[in-house]
Amino acid sequence: MVAALFGCWFRVGGARSALVGPVIPVGRTVVQISMSRSQVVLLGLGLLLILLLYVGLPGPPEQTSWLWGDTNVTILAGLTPGNCPIFYREVLPLPQARRVEVVLLHGKAFNSHTWEQLGTLQLLSQRGYRAVAIDLPGFGNSAPSEETRTEAGRAELLQRVLRDLKVHNAVLVSPSLSGHYALPFLMRDHQQLHGFVPIAPTSTQNYTQEQYWAVKTPTLILYGELDHILARESLRQLRHLPNHSVVKLRNAGHACYLHKPQDFHLVLLAFLDHLP
């Protein structure tokens, strides 16, 4: 290949040599490039390496959309009544409504809009679920509230939101920070919940093994494989819930629903579809 490309081999008195390279015309002058044998070999090896690298390099990564749902689903928005209104986004079931309704909380760096961007609200609507995503007090479009200073206040706030929005047979999805609200509610009012989906929530260490044993709510414990701190700590406590299953999302971190949205949605829908 090298000889064909560069024409650098010729004979002098019957012997082969590698002293002359290609002949390149420059105007009316002919310039002859001299190359040593070692230079020719190195150049040939370099070209071969480039060729191998070009063939062996992987193609560009697949472009995956963050949004995984029908963008044509209508998303309603509003504020709950009362002195400390809570902002919410809501979708209604497109086909025949299923029994349970999904309430989506959020982590510290997020708000209800996250579930719209991710396509979770749209997807739940397509599958026949009414779904409500709320902005916790002090996040998104919800003002801070003094009520959230106590555990009882946070549980009562969540209970009031469900009552104001006429949510029945609720399945509560609680990632990260929102465990600060979901767990007090679970311990006090778990009879109102038809299902619970904790995603590495905070505050799990605040309750005893006996308190967890008393909760009979069907629970899907979700966490990311790469979340080595909060996921492990919460899993250690949540395993005391008597009616639970555990799913670990591979190659996903703390906000596993963002890192692996399709896997998250498939697991969530499977849990919801099989609730009695």
On whether the CB atoms of residues 73 and 125 are closer than 8 A, the answer is yes
| pLDDT tens figures, 88-106 | 999 999 988 999 999 999 9
pLDDT score, position 32:
40
pLDDT score, position 69:
53
* Domains of the chain, start order: 2-56 (no CATH), 76-273 (3.40.50.1820)
Average pLDDT over residues 9-20: 36
Q: How far apart are CA 252 and CA 249, in angstroms?
A: 6
pLDDT score, position 43:
58
Those residues whose C-beta lies under 8 Å from the C-beta of residue 126, and which sit 6 or more positions away, are 69, 70, 73, 94, 95
pLDDT score, position 6:
36
Quick check: 11 pLDDT over 70? no
Average pLDDT, the chain: 83
Quick check: 39 pLDDT over 80? no
Q: What share of the chain in percent tops pLDDT 70?
A: 74
User: What's the pTM value of the predicted model, to 2 decimals?
Assistant: 0.75
pLDDT score, position 95:
85
pLDDT score, position 71:
62
pLDDT score, position 59:
32
| pLDDT tens figures, 225-238 | 999 999 999 999 99
CA distances from 163 to 32, 110, 155, 157, 166 (A): 90, 24, 12, 10, 5
Q: Give the pLDDT band of residue 245 (cuts 50, 70, 90).
A: very high
| pLDDT tens figures, 140-198 | 999 999 999 999 999 999 999 999 999 999 999 999 999 999 999 999 999 999 999 99
Q: How far apart are CA 148 and CA 199, in angstroms?
A: 21
Which residues participate in catalysis according to the annotation? 176, 227, 254
Strand partners, 31: 24
| pLDDT tens figures, 192-239 | 999 999 999 999 999 999 999 999 999 999 999 999 999 999 999 999
pLDDT score, position 82:
83
Q: How far apart are CA 108 and CA 177, in angstroms?
A: 6
Q: How far apart are CA 119 and CA 73, in angstroms?
A: 10
